[in-house]
Structure 1
Amino acid sequence: MDVTIYHNPGCGTSRNVLAMIRNAGIEPEIIEYVKSPPSRDRLIELISGAGLTVRQALREKGTPYAELGLDDPSLTYDQLLDAMLAHPILINRPFVVTPLGTRLARPSEMMLDILPSTHRGAFIKEDGEPVLDPEGKRIR
């Protein structure tokens, strides 16, 4: 299965999602989007494919969100996209794309719906929270 993750290795959620994909026996295409940002068209595809608004795809924590005044409700779709493209750290992560769909995997379990159920046993997040039981079935 072709899987792509828009990944930030400095993000615990992103690392957990990458590990869950690998737990399913899949080696995804990994795009470190801060170093290699998506094109405008691709960013639009990711956001719309995940069923989000541009504002929902914006990351506030640890970004220049406030300094750039992105909390201004009068900003347009294009202005928000421009900010995300100029400052890729503003793109929330991780986005995961598979033939079964696109998800912003926050929380990380969101992406389980778009992976085949071929998990190789239990999976526990970095923080110790169990996600999959020993048979590879979702705990919650």
Structure 2
Amino acid sequence: MQATIWHNPACGTSRKTLAILQETPGVAVTVVEYLKHPPTREKLTALYARAGMTPRDGLRTKNSPAADLCAELNLLEADDLTILDAMMAHPVLINRPLVETEKGVRLCRPQDLVHDIL
């Protein structure tokens, strides 16, 4: 099985999710450091659709600089298109880790949610 993780190595939950993927037999993992290589708007929209999420559900609102950006850009009151625009301009606003397999997509917070798609 192929799994792709949109990963931030500075995030403990992301590191734990990656470890689960790497320790699962038969899983080939592609790691995308999304702060360096953010998904396109189309890809992020497709990931959220497959996960049954809205961009608001995928918005990182805690911890600096994301919390500061959310306040500065008034994202807590914004519509989904505005949130997507902000995510494209500031990938730090994308909550992580997102994991995609042939069985679906999950925002793996907590990390054990990754088991749903393995």
Normalised to the residue count of structure 1, the TM-score between the two structures is 0.77
1:126 alignment counterpart? none
Structure 2 segments unaligned to the other structure (5+ residues): none
Partner SS for 1:66: helix
Matches of 1:13 and 1:27 in 2, distance apart?
19
Q: How does 1:35-74 map to 2 (within 5 A)?
A: 35-62=36-63, 63=66, 64-72=69-77
Matches of 2:47 and 2:70 in 1, distance apart?
20
Question: Displacement, 1:28?
Answer: 0.6
The one of the two structures with greater contact order (alpha-carbon pairs below 8 A, sep at least 6) is 2
Larger radius of gyration: 1
Structure whose residues are more often helix by fraction: 2
Structure 1 segments unaligned to the other structure (5+ residues): 116-140
Q: For residues 67-123 of structure 1, what are the alpha-carbon distances to aligned partners after superposition, in whole Å with 9 as ceiling and x for unaligned?
A: 221112xx22211100011000100100000111111101111110111xxxxxxxx
Q: May I ask how many residue pairs the two structures share in their alignment?
A: 113
Matches of 1:54 and 1:88 in 2, distance apart?
12
Among all aligned residue pairs of Structure 1 and Structure 2, give the percentage whose two residues are the same amino acid. Answer: 48
Question: Please, what is the CA RMSD of the aligned residues?
Answer: 1.0
AA of the residue aligned to 2:34: Y
Question: Displacement, 1:41?
Answer: 0.4
User: Which ranges of 4 or more aligned residues in structure 1 deviate by more than 3 Å?
Assistant: none
